[in-house]
Amino acid sequence: MSQLGQQESPPIHPPLSRISLLLLAVLTGVVAGIGALLFRGLIALVHNGLFLGTYGLSYDANQHTPLSPWGLAVIFVPVLGALIVTFLVTKFAPEAKGHGVPEVMDAVYYGKGLIRPMVALFKALASAFCIGTGGSVGREGPIAQIGSAFGSTMSQIFPMTAKQRITLIAAGAGGGIAATFNTPIGGLLFAIELLMHEVSVSTLVPVALATVTATYIGQLFFGVHPAFVIPALEQPYFSVLSPWLLLYYAVLGIGMGVLATLYIRSLYRFEDLFAEYSKAHPYRCHAGGMLLVGILMYLIMRVTGHYYIDGVGYSAINDALSGQMSALGLMAALFALKLLATCLTLGSGGSGGIFSPALFLGAIAGCAFGVLCQMVFPNMEISPAAFAVAGMAGMVGGATGAPMTAIVMIFEMTLDYSVILPITITVILSFALRTLLLKDSIYTLKLVRRGHFMPAGLQVNLLQMRTSQDVMQEKPASIDHEASLQDLWNLALSHPQKRWFLVVDGQKVVGVIPRDGAWANVINQAEESQQVAAYMRRDFIYVGEREKLVNVVERMHTPHAAVALVLGRGEHGNMQNTVKGVLSWEEIAVVLEEAADLFSEYRQPQSPVS
C-alpha cells in the first residue's frame, strides 16, 4: 500500500473553542519569537567560536565578518560544520536537511499536519552549525520550520480538528518569518501564500495574532528598526513626474524572472549531482561540498578583503543598498559565487533557508543593473540602491512563488513607501516570466519531484494534488480465468486484506472480481466447480501511477468503471506484471473525506456501532 495509505490517521476530535485556539496562536507566536532569538544566539555562538575563535553571543549579520584568526585553515571551518550537520541529520532528523519550508508544506498537504516535535530542536542545531561555520544559506527557513513544529506539537497536546492543526502550523511559520525580519504583515502573507489551505476569519485571525506577537517579541530584543537601512533613499526616488523609471523596472523584472529561474534550476541541478554520492557517503559528500565553499570564501577574501558569500550575506546587501558597491565586475563575480556557494551548501546536504540567498542575489543583480543604467544614461537621476531594493523583491517573488509576500516584506524591511510601485512592477514581471520558463517555485519543485503536487490556489482540491500511487491499494492477488469458484474462495481466505482480485488468462488481465457480498453469495449458491470467468467483471480501466485523481475520476465516470488498475511508470498494455495496484471509488472517497477534514469547521465523530 502507498505511504499515504499506511500512515495512521489522527483521531477525529471536536474543535477547540475559538478562545482556546486564539490563546494557542498567541503562545505559538511567543515561541516563534523566542525561537528566533535563541536561534540567532545559537548561530552567533557557533560563528564566534568556530569561525573567529572567540566566545560570545554578539553577531551582527549586517556587518562584514572580521578576518578569521585561522588564516588559510579557515577553509576547513565549513567542513567541520558539515560533519556536525550530517551527524544531526542522518542520526536524528532527516527532515532537518534542506531549506525547511517544503517540509512544512509537505506536512500540511500530505502529512495530515503532523510534524515531529524533535524536528524543531535538530533543525535549529543543524542550521546553526551550517550558517555559523560559513554555509551560504538563510535563517528564515529553519525558523519557519521550528515555529511550524511547535504549532503541530500544540495540536497533538490539545486535541483539535485538522483545520485548526494546520492553522497553528501556518501561525508558527508566519510568526517565525515575522520575527526574523521584523515584518508582521509579510509573515502573515507568507503563511497565506505558501501554507494556508483556506483563508477565512477562523484561520486568518489566529495566524495574524501569531505574527504580530512574534514580531513584538522580536522587537523587544532586536529593536524596532527595519532590517535594512538605506541612506541613499532618504528622499523618495520615484514619483509620477518620472514615469520613464517604470520602463527600467519592467526590464529589471524580466531580468529577475530569468535569474530566478536560473537560481531554481541551479539548486536542483546540484542536488541531482550530489544525490547518489550523498546516499552512499553523506559525510564525504557534504564535507566535500563545504570544502569548496570554504575555498571560494577564502579566495574572495584574499581579493576583496571580505568573505562576502559566507552565511546569510546581509553585509553585502547593505553594501549594495548604501552605495558602497559600484564595480560591475565585482558584482558579477559576487552573484556567480553566491549562487555557486548556495548550491554547493544545500546540494551537498546542508541545512538552511533559500530566502536570504535570494535577497543577496536580487540586491547584487539589481544594483548592477542600476549602475549599468547610470553608465548608459548619465544625465538621468538613477539610484542603484533603488534597483537593488526592487531586485531583492523580484528575486524573492520569482523564486518562491509568493509575489505578495515579496512586495510587502521588502517594503517592511526598508520602510520606504515609495518602493511599492516600482517593486510591484518588478515582482509581477519576474513572477510571470519565471512561471512561463519554469512552472514550479523553488519550494514546490522539491515536492513535485517526490510526486507531491502543490495547490495553485487557496481553495485546495485534493483530487488535483493526489495521484493514483498515493491512494491505491497494493497489487491485487491473481487467479486464472479457468479456475473454479472453490479456488477463488480459497484465495480470498488466504488474502483477507485484498478487496479485488485479478482474473488472468496466462499473463493477460481479462477481468476483476471484488470482495463483497454480491460475489460471496454467488459462490455460496453456485456450483463450486464453475469457472471464475463466468462471474468476473469487465468494467475496469487502466491508469498511470502518476495520473492525478481528478483525471482518474473523469475516466472512470464515463464508462461507469468500478475500478482502475494502476500501471507502473512507463508501463502499457494489459499484462498482469504491469499492474502495480488497484484504485476503486472507495479510495477516492477517502481522499474526499480528507478534504472535508481540511475545510470543515467541525466533524461529528461517528458513534460506535452497537
Show which of 216, 231, 246 is a domain's final residue. Answer: 231
Domain boundary among 189, 208, 231: 231
pLDDT in tens, 528-572: 667 878 778 888 888 888 888 778 887 887 778 888 888 887 777
The number of folded domains in the chain is 3
Distances (CA, A) of 34 to 63, 126, 147, 212, 259: 23, 18, 10, 13, 35
Cα–Cα distances in angstroms (integers) from residue 374 to residues 241, 367, 379, 383, in the given order = 19, 11, 8, 8
Q: Do 123 and 158 fall within a single domain?
A: yes
Give, as one character, the DSSP assignment of residue 577.
G
* Sequence-distant (≥ 6) Cβ neighbours of residue 573 within 8 angstroms: none
How many angstroms separate the CA atoms of 117 and 109, rounded? 18
Residue 604 lies in a domain: no
Domain assignment present for residue 195? The answer is: yes
Residue 609 covered by a domain? no
**What pLDDT was estimated at residue 171?**
94
User: How many other C-beta atoms lie within 10 A of the C-beta of residue 523?
Assistant: 19
- In angstroms, the Cα distances linking 62 to 188, 311, 315 are 24, 11, 4
Residues 446 and 492 in one domain: no
Residue 481, pLDDT score: 82
Do residue 207 and residue 318 come from a single domain? Answer: no
CATH number for the domain harbouring residue 517: 3.10.580.10
Residue 280: other Cβ atoms inside 10 A? 8
Placement of cell 498511470 in the chain? 544
Pair 134, 272 in one domain: no
Looking at the structure, tell me whether residues 203 and 258 fall in a common domain.
no
Give CA angle at 92 (133, 345), nearest 5°: 30
Sign (positive or negative) of CA dihedral 198, 181, 316, 55: negative
Looking at the structure, do residues 201 and 257 belong to the same domain, yes or no? no
Angle at 504 (CA atoms; ends 501, 505), nearest 5 degrees: 165
Residues 443 and 476 in one domain: no
Same domain assignment for residues 455 and 308: yes
Domain, as residue range, for 324: 238-462
- Helix%, strand%, coil% for the chain, nearest 5: 65, 5, 30
In a domain, 605, yes or no: no
Which pLDDT score is estimated for 324? 87
Are the C-beta atoms of 416 and 236 separated by less than 8 Å? yes
Q: Is residue 447 part of a domain?
A: yes
Quick one: 518 and 377 in the same domain?
Answer: no
22 and 166, same domain (yes or no): yes
Q: Are residues 477 and 390 in the same domain?
A: no
Q: How deeply is 19 buried, as exposed, middle or buried, from its count of CB atoms within 10 A (0-12, 13-18, 19+)?
A: exposed
Which residues of the chain fall short of a pLDDT of 70? 1-13, 226-242, 456-464, 517-529, 595-610
pLDDT at 518: 47
Nearest CA among 556, 557, 588 for reference residue 464: 588
Q: Is 607 part of any domain?
A: no
Question: What pTM, to 2 d.p., does this model score?
Answer: 0.79
* CA distances to 30, 395, 458, 581 from 444, in Å: 28, 16, 15, 27
The answer to whether 590 and 471 are in contact (CB under 8 A) is yes
Q: Does 610 fall in a domain?
A: no
Residue 608 lies in a domain: no
CB-count burial class (<10 Å; 0-12, 13-18, 19+) for 37: middle
In the listed set 231, 256, 288, which residue is the last one of a domain according to the structure? 231
Q: Are residues 13 and 127 in the same domain?
A: yes
pLDDT of residue 578: 79
Contact 179, 143 (CB under 8 A): yes
**Set of cell numbers at residue 226:** 527595519
CATH for 272 = 1.10.3080.10
